[in-house]
């Protein structure tokens, strides 16, 4: 599956199409029965981690392209190199805030993400330095707000949705995205509360 993911992400960066035969070649399995399983797990990983999905642009020839699943433009912003898409990870962080209300303590975020192997001061193979990403990069881009909890002693911080997140994605979209991921993550990211969905339907 790792080879298939690498292949698809390279195609995404190069803005190239790919075909079903090439995708099948990348599964590297002699058992044809395993191919659907590998492909399903790969597509789930693409959506959960990278916020991407496979789109069939030519059903007759089985030609595909990798496209963002949500309206977030964070991966389209200039960077210092060829970075991996991180929209899926941003959606997970936004979902944590939904679960806790309008804001969430920083320590709760890291406690949850650490269960996924994403630790605040440990470089991640996909997300780089997670704390830098959450407290600086996404704050600067407007996707998150990172503020000191009033009157906290010792000082504590909390995360909120930023103005750009509200402009590009809705709580309903976050809900739909989470419902499509592998159910093994449901214990970490349970469905948003009825209150969160009701607030989204009622609007600001």
Q: For residue 175, give the CATH number of its domain.
A: 1.10.10.1210
Q: What's the average pLDDT block by block, 10 residues per block, for the chain (204 residues)?
A: 75 81 69 67 73 81 79 56 66 86 91 85 80 93 93 91 90 74 42 54 56
The confidence score (pLDDT) of residue 145 equals 96
- 125 and 45 in one domain? no
Between CA 102 and CA 165 the distance in angstroms is 13
CB neighbourhood size of 185 (10 A) = 14
- 88 and 17 in one domain? no
Place of tokens 């996909």: 126
Contact status, residue 28 vs residue 5, Cβ threshold 8 Å = no
- 188 and 107 in one domain? yes
- 168 and 96 in one domain? yes
Domain boundary residue, one of 68, 95, 116: 68
Contact status, residue 89 vs residue 49, Cβ threshold 8 Å = yes
The confidence score (pLDDT) of residue 92 equals 83
- 64 and 80 in one domain? no
DSSP secondary structure letters along 117-173: T--TTS-BTTTBSHHHIIIIIHHHHTSEEEEEPTT-SS--EEEEE-HHHHHH--HHH
The total number of structural domains in the chain stands at 2
The confidence score (pLDDT) of residue 160 equals 96
Whether residue 154 is preceded by a cis peptide bond, meaning omega within 30 degrees of 0, is yes
Structure tokens belonging to residue 49: 């981690």
Domain boundary residue, one of 16, 49, 68: 68
- 100 and 53 in one domain? no
- 169 and 104 in one domain? yes
The confidence score (pLDDT) of residue 109 equals 93
pTM of the model: 0.65
- The residues, ordered by sequence, that sit 6+ positions from 134 with a Cβ below 8 Å of its Cβ are 93, 109, 144, 146, 159
- 187 and 173 in one domain? yes
- 128 and 153 in one domain? yes
- 84 and 64 in one domain? no
Residue 110: exposed, middle, or buried by beta-carbon count in 10 A (0-12, 13-18, 19+)? middle
What range defines the domain where residue 42 resides? 2-68
Between CA 2 and CA 27 the distance in angstroms is 9
Q: For residue 20, give the CATH number of its domain.
A: 1.10.10.1200
Domain boundary residue, one of 42, 68, 94: 68
Question: Angle at CA 168, nearest 5°, toward 85 and 172?
Answer: 100
């Amino acid at each position: 599956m790792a080879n298939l993911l690498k292949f698809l992400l390279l195609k995404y960066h190069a803005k190239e199409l790919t075909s079903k035969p090439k995708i099948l070649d990348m599964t590297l399995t002699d058992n044809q029965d395993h191919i659907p399983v590998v492909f399903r797990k790969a597509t789930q990983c693409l959506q959960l981690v990278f916020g991407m999905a496979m789109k069939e642009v030519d059903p007759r020839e089985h030609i595909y392209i990798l496209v963002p699943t949500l309206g977030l433009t964070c991966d389209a912003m200039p960077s210092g190199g060829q970075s991996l898409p991180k929209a899926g990870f941003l959606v997970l962080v936004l979902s944590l805030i939904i679960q806790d209300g309008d804001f969430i303590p920083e320590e709760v975020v890291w406690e949850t993400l650490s269960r996924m192997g994403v630790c605040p001061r440990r470089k991640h193979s996909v997300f780089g330095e997670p704390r830098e990403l959450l407290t600086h990069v996404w704050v600067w881009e407007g996707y998150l707000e990172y503020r000191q909890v009033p009157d906290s002693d010792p000082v504590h911080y909390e995360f909120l949705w930023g103005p750009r997140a509200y402009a590009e994605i809705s709580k309903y979209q976050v809900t739909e995205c989470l419902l499509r991921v592998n159910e093994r993550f449901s214990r970490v990211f349970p469905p948003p509360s009825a209150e969160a969905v009701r607030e989204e339907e009622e609007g600001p």
